[in-house]
Amino acid sequence: MSTVVIVGTQWGDEGKGKIVDFLTEKADLVARYQGGNNAGHTVVINNEKYILHLIPSGILHKGKRCIIGNGVVIAPPALIKEIDDLKGKGIDVDDNLLISKNAHVIMPYHMAIEKENENRKGNKKIGTTGRGIGPSYTDKIARHGIRVMDLLSPNAFKEKISANLSTINFLLESLYKTAPLKADEIYDEYMRYAERLSRYIADTDVIINKQIDSGKNVLFEGAQGTLLDIDHGTYPFVTSSNTIAGGACTGLGVGPTKINKVLGIAKAYTTRVGEGPFPTELKDELGESIRQKGGEFGATTGRPRRCGWLDMLILKHAIRINGLTGIALTKLDILDGMDKLKICIGYKYNGNLCEEFPKEIEILENCEPVYEEVDGWMESTLGIKEFDRLPANAKRYIKKIEEMLKTEIQIISTGQKRDEIIVLKEQF
Ligand code: GDP
Ligand code: IMO
Ligand code: MG
């Protein structure tokens, strides 16, 4: 038996969905531990594209139990739409999906507040996905959040909405000069959602731990990436949850002693959506060509992703913070046909060389990346399934990264499809 945490090592969109889907073949249960429908995890099977936002990417395999854990914030209309879309494509959701009673619910006022907050920040905005993620986690920490289990107690639910709206409407009307929200309307709307979702609600921590204790293989699916972590990311340009591997413990109710492996997903280059520092960003034609070739447009918002070179300081930070036991390197094929490739090995700032990822936004915004240049390869790596068949320089690129990071690259992804992958070390 084994448990494996799947965690993004960069700013999200590393290809977590594809790797989770691939590993689900040998897993018995897949559980999402944080984030909400800000995430967009793309899985391509037989030319059909699925984008998962809340439901674990394991759902596309028949008969695998999928859990949305307590650390996730759930927007009921988004979840219902996702369930319906999957069912429409013949996926059996009803028998496999469970939702934690303790997960928090995204309410309409969370979206309204986020929109106003972002507008008021002007050019200092975070560039959020606009899904109400931040305000929902804020309510959770402030202890007036609404949880999934509240949907099952209509009277208490109604009281909670009214209590929250008494302050939120004051904010909306007096400060933001927007229309107040009506408790009755929200109540009616959410009771309809409750009717649809009640069948999935469960004590998911008990179920997950039973599976682990009975020797099953369990995957923990993270959303976003290490640099979007609320504590260890590029604060304040982050999301509002612990995206790192430790989030799997708090976000599912699984003790740290039950985690066996932590697989970090790293794109062979770097991307970021939204605002915030990005030292190796390519603001030129090369960046644009990687964006086009890599299809680097947000799976949730469609926004163009900013693209840049691979950054060792970021990956070393991710190895440290997550305790990675291995790396899955994705989108290698997107680097095909490039004469030279650059790997960032340090940042120059104020005459000093930083070799570890700095905590200060000021340094990240104003540093100059130091690169090691390596030869690229002209051959196609798309769909290659064996390491030995990779072009010599692609092998060198991978070996170089491994040496610099002192961490094994255990999986290499060479295309969007499920079987476009090289497995150097099994996870289960
Ligand atoms: P996630 O949020 O980490 O699951 O990643 P996204 O789904 O947002 O973005 C990754 C994108 O890259 C998706 O469109 C995937 O289908 C695609 N992808 C994943 N791995 C590979 C790969 O090895 N090669 C190529 N060409 N595309 C990939
Ligand atoms: P997956 O799971 C990439 C970014 C947003 C914004 C910041 C805060 O697909 O990798 P939020 O709406 O969470 O308050 O936005 O985080 N962001 C992501 N970027 N991939 C994601 O998820 C993201 N989820 C949020 O663009 O910069
Ligand atoms: Mg994504």
Res. 1: pLDDT tops 80: no
- What residues are paired with 266 via a beta bridge? 329
For this structure, is 13 an active site residue?
yes
**For 304, which DSSP code?**
B
Q: Note the pTM of the prediction, 2 decimals.
A: 0.98
For this structure, is 104 an active site residue?
no
Which stretches within 40-182 are classed as H helix?
76-88, 108-121, 133-142, 154-170
Residue type, 156: A
Give the mean pLDDT of the chain: 97
Question: Model confidence at 252, in pLDDT bands (50, 70, 90)?
Answer: very high
Q: For 399-420, write each residue's pLDDT tens digit.
A: 999 999 999 999 999 999 999 9
Please give the distance, rounded to the nearest whole angstrom, from the Cα atom of residue 47 to the centre of ligand 1.
14
DSSP string, 32-48: E-SB-TT--EEEEETTE
CA–CA separation, 301 vs 323, rounded Å? 31
CA–CA separation, 335 vs 320, rounded Å? 26
Question: Which has more pLDDT, 183 or 298?
Answer: 183
Q: How far is CA 139 from CA 37, 109, 135, 187, in A?
A: 17, 11, 6, 18
CA–CA separation, 184 vs 286, rounded Å? 53
Give the ligand 1 atom nearest the CA of 421.
23
Q: Which ligand is nearest to the CA of 243?
A: 2
Which stretches within 4-91 are classed as H helix?
16-24, 76-88
pLDDT of residue 261: 98
Nearest CA to ligand 1 atom 26: 415
Q: For 94-137, write each residue's pLDDT tens digit.
A: 999 999 999 999 999 999 999 999 999 999 999 999 999 999 99
Res. 301: pLDDT tops 90: no
pLDDT of residue 71: 98
For ligand 2, mutation pick of 50, 72, 124, 128 (most atoms within 8 Å of CB): 128
Res. 5: pLDDT tops 90: yes
pLDDT of residue 333: 98
Q: Indicate the range of 21-30, 87-96, 169-178, 328-337 predicted with least confidence.
A: 169-178
Find out whether the beta carbon of 16 lies less than 6 Å from any atom of ligand 1.
Answer: yes
Using the structure block, give the residue that is written with the tokens 């913070």.
321
180 within 8 A of 206, measured Cβ to Cβ: no
Which stretches within 235-350 are classed as H helix?
247-250, 285-293, 312-322
Please give the distance, rounded to the nearest whole angstrom, from the Cα atom of residue 374 to the centre of ligand 2.
31
Nearest CA to ligand 1 atom 23: 331
How far from each other are the two terminal CA atoms of the chain, in whole angstroms?
Answer: 7
Domain limits of the chain? 3-95+203-423, 104-199
Q: How far is CA 200 from CA 68, 158, 194, in A?
A: 10, 21, 10
pLDDT of residue 300: 84
CATH of 104-199, one of 1.10.10.10, 3.40.50.880, 1.10.300.10, 3.40.190.10: 1.10.300.10
Question: Model confidence at 241, in pLDDT bands (50, 70, 90)?
Answer: very high
Res. 364: pLDDT tops 80: yes
Give the ligand 2 atom nearest the CA of 271.
3
User: Which two tokens mark 237?
Assistant: 């340009």
Q: Are strands 409-413 and 326-330 parallel, antiparallel or unpaired?
A: parallel
Res. 299: pLDDT tops 90: no
| 124-144: burial string, b at 16+ Cβ within 10 Å, e else | eebebbebbbbbbbbbbeeee
Share of the chain above pLDDT 70, in %: 100
Selection from 196, 225, 169 nearest residue 78 by Cα:
196
Question: Model confidence at 344, in pLDDT bands (50, 70, 90)?
Answer: very high
CATH class of 3-95+203-423: alpha beta
Q: For 74-85, write each residue's pLDDT tens digit.
A: 999 999 999 999
Average pLDDT over residues 222-241: 98
Give the ligand 2 atom nearest the CA of 14.
10
Please give the distance, rounded to the nearest whole angstrom, from the Cα atom of residue 221 to the centre of ligand 3.
12
Please give the distance, rounded to the nearest whole angstrom, from the Cα atom of residue 131 to the centre of ligand 2.
10
